[in-house]
Amino acid sequence: MVILTPLSQQFTTGFVPLYPAASFTDSRARMEYHHTSEMNGVVADYHSMCNEPERNGLCREEKHSEDAADSNNLCHIEKAYSTILSELGEDVDREGLLRTPLRAAKAMQFLTKGYKETTQDILNDAIFDEDHEEMVIVKDIELFSLCEHHLVPFYGKAHIAYLPNKKVVGLSKLARIVEIYSRRLQVQERLTKQIASAISEALEPAGVAVVIEAAHMCMVMRGVQKMNASTVTSVMLGRFYDDPKARKEFLTLTLKK
């Protein structure tokens, strides 16, 4: 079920060298000197680290000990952002943008870190045998994600309920499941279903219910530009789907203003 309530492309790009050799003027060299990073007492230029295999160790240190594959990916994403800025008409050599491609690359890796996480990783030691069959609700779980159609944010809150079947999970783990799937390129409908399915598979409960309320910047900042529109999606599994009373109780407890 999807409810749109009015209340008041991906892109692909080839990788090109970040700084062509011809662009290294004396002033450019001086500017690069002032934007280097100090690691283990050694001052090293970031871009040199990414482009010189013999300095991969320092490159990994600069990226907080990420593995070699992540470091390589970060360099490629950085170069792609540099290309985008250039194609938008910006001067990537001006002082304010010198490290913007790197910052944007790191930010994008963080915003999509859910691709490297699984529910098994976080739930391993957090499922307990418990003789409890009444509804468990965690509501108002804040979430932030990226619309996969325009790569702009949507954000809001998730409400989760499950009916235990002799098993309960640590309450914070429900919020972590939301985090895993929201930190990916998403559409809200799929995000809602993924959260519900993950809980159902892990706990095998009598029922799972998930409702997400979110505002989408692709509707606010561009396109129809409806500032106060919000989107509500829901997924009901098991007894929440079959039993109107259970569903009504959940909706009443979570959506009541």
Q: How far apart are CA 112 and CA 183, in angstroms?
A: 5
203, 162 Cβ separation under 8 angstroms:
yes
Residue 75 annotated in active site: no
From the candidates 78, 186, 213, 216, give the one annotated as an active-site residue. 216
From the candidates 150, 179, 186, 213, give the one annotated as an active-site residue. 150
Q: How far apart are CA 66 and CA 41, in angstroms?
A: 19
> Does an H or E element contain 184, and which?
none
Beta bridge partners of 189: none
Residue 150 annotated in active site: yes
Q: How far apart are CA 217 and CA 146, in angstroms?
A: 9
Residue 64 annotated in active site: no
From the candidates 32, 90, 218, 249, give the one annotated as an active-site residue. 218
From the candidates 76, 95, 149, 201, give the one annotated as an active-site residue. 149
For tokens 């994403």, the residue is 77
From the candidates 147, 159, 194, 213, give the one annotated as an active-site residue. 147
Q: Report DSSP letters for 125-155, one per residue.
A: T-EEE----S-EEEEEEEEEEEETTTS-EEE
Beta bridge partners of 136: 162
Residue 147 annotated in active site: yes
Please report how many Cα atoms fall inside a 13 Å half-sphere around the Cα of residue 17, on the Cβ side: 8
Residue 148 annotated in active site: yes
119, 198 Cβ separation under 8 angstroms:
yes
From the candidates 52, 87, 95, 148, give the one annotated as an active-site residue. 148
From the candidates 186, 188, 194, 213, give the one annotated as an active-site residue. 188
Alpha helices in the chain (DSSP H): 26-33, 46-51, 56-62, 68-87, 100-111, 119-123, 171-182, 188-203, 217-220, 239-242, 244-255
> Tell me, what DSSP letter sits at residue 88?
T
User: Which residues participate in catalysis according to the annotation?
Assistant: 147-150, 188, 216, 218
